[in-house]
Structure 1
Amino acid sequence: MTRGIRGATTVTHNDEKEILKQAKDLIVEMIDMNNVQATDVSHVFISVTKDLNATFPAKALREIDGWKYVPVMCMAEIDVPHGLKQCIRVMMVTNTNKSQEEIKHIFKNEAVKLRPDLVKGD
């Protein structure tokens, strides 16, 4: 079965190093919490709000061992009035035997406001 794994995080500045660090931390947690292998991933979409343009957050995925050949694309998030600012969103599509309910979606920093219903406690 193909499943989507959602993730989102925020940064405090439109800064290349911060964007890459937060994106990598988010993606690594998505991988770890869902036991994802790069060879099982179809593709990854990453969107950013219009206030983030210092770098492509997809570069962070390329820093993870074994993820060189996973297709990844960055895009602009819809600029909704009163939407969350300085936000990086990730949609990872992977083959898995897990049910929808077993997928662990990861929301970090201010992005926990996006889907409090999906934020799982420890």
Structure 2
Amino acid sequence: MIRGIRGATTVTENDANEIVANTKELVMEMAEVNKISPDEIATVLISATADINASFPAKALREINGWKYVPVMCMKEIEVPNSLPKCIRVMMTVNSHTRQEEVQHIYHNQAVQLRPDLSR
């Protein structure tokens, strides 16, 4: 069964170290709480708002031990008026037998306001 795990975070500045660190923290928690190993991940898609360009958020995954072969791609988030600034969104597509309603989606920092119904 293929499942999607959603996650999002924000940064306070357009800073390469903060972008990579916050993305890494988010992705690692997404995998940990959903008990996903790298070989179960089909793809990771990462979008960033236009105000984030100091680094590719996907660089974070290359720093995680065992994630060398996980396919990952970054893209620009669509610009919607009054949307959350400095936001990084992640969609992790995984092979899992977990039921859809049992998947734990992770939201950090200011991104918790995107889906308060799914935030822990």
TM-score, structure 2 normalization:
0.99
The DSSP-based 3-state class of the residue aligned with 2:45 is strand
Question: Which deviations, in whole Å up to 9, do the C-alpha atoms of 1:53-78 show, x marking residues without a partner?
Answer: 00001010111111100100000000
Paired residue type of 1:100: Q
1:29 matched to 2:23? The reply is no
Moved over 2 A (4+): none
Secondary structure in 2 aligned to 1:39?
Answer: helix
Count the aligned residue pairs: 120
Residue in 2 aligned with 1:9? 9
Aligned to 1:98: 98
CA distance in 1, matches of 2:99, 2:71: 24
CA root-mean-square deviation: 0.5
Offset at residue 86 of structure 1 (A): 0.1
TM-score (structure 1 length as normaliser): 0.97
Deviations 1:34-57 (A, max 9, x none): 000110110000000000000001
What are the ranges of 5 or more consecutive residues in structure 2 without an aligned counterpart? Answer: none
